[in-house]
A and B are shown apart, each in its own frame.
Chain A
Amino acid sequence: QSALTQPPSVSGSPGQSVTISCTGTSSDVGSYDRVSWYQEPPGTAPKLIIFEVTNRPSGVPDRFSGSKSGNTASLTISGLQAEDEADYYCSSYTSSTMVVFGGGTKLTVL
């Protein structure tokens, strides 16, 4: 099972919006609304910020939103803040009853 494809890095200025893509196949992202997104600040454990494509856990700001079209899911962060600087990972359930992660995207707030 290959990792999902994410851009290695994205950047934006405070207040701007950025979007991170996550491309899979018809065996994972394209077939299931079971895409999650995780935020991993340096030196800390990952934190769930989006589950089942569009849902936010309690306590996650509504600046974070998710969507999906075909085999590609996306995470949009609006109103960028300095504290959003972190690595972001997508994941998806697969037809092999496994979970696969994306390669990760480093977000830099300029």
Chain B
Amino acid sequence: EVQLVQSGAEVKQPGESLRISCEGSGYTFTNYWISWVRQVTGKGLEWMGRIDPTDSYTNYSPSFQGHVTISTDKSIGTAYLQWSSLKASDTAIYYCAASRSGWDFFFWGQGTLVTVSS
């Protein structure tokens, strides 16, 4: 059974750094792109960017380029989403999602709630 298990909820202050994780199991990690998707409470889904775990090729939505970094450690089957300086507007649920093609997300993590507040 394919599973994506994300790290737990985080509470941070503006300006702090953060890295959240997404561990894949039940499949060959390098066979699926991993995307990250943001959902602000009560709002819709926003695609942030994706990574090919085979070679760490990434591409980002212009809305998120330069503000977040997507990476993987294929040796442990884990993808990451990180911020160097959080803003209050980063408060949201973040989902990782796996796709063979890169654009249709067959498997989803359970979501990680990130709260940024002073």
Contact = CB atoms under 8 A, between A and B. Distances in A.
Size class of the contact patch on chain B: 20 to 34
Contacts of B37: 46, 101
Nearest to A43: B111
B44 interface: yes
B111 A3 contact: no
Interface in B10-51: 35, 37, 44-47, 50
Q: Describe A's contact surface by its main secondary structure.
A: strand
Given A1-B62, A97-B59, A91 B44 contact: no
Contacts of A34: 101, 103-104
B104 A46 contact: no
A89 interface: yes
Contacts of B80: none
Given A91-B105, A104-B45, 16 more contacts: A1-B61, A38-B105, A45-B108, A46-B108, A48-B104, A48-B106, A51-B104, A89-B44, A91-B47, A92-B103, A93-B103, A99-B50, A101-B37, A101-B47, A102-B44, A103-B44
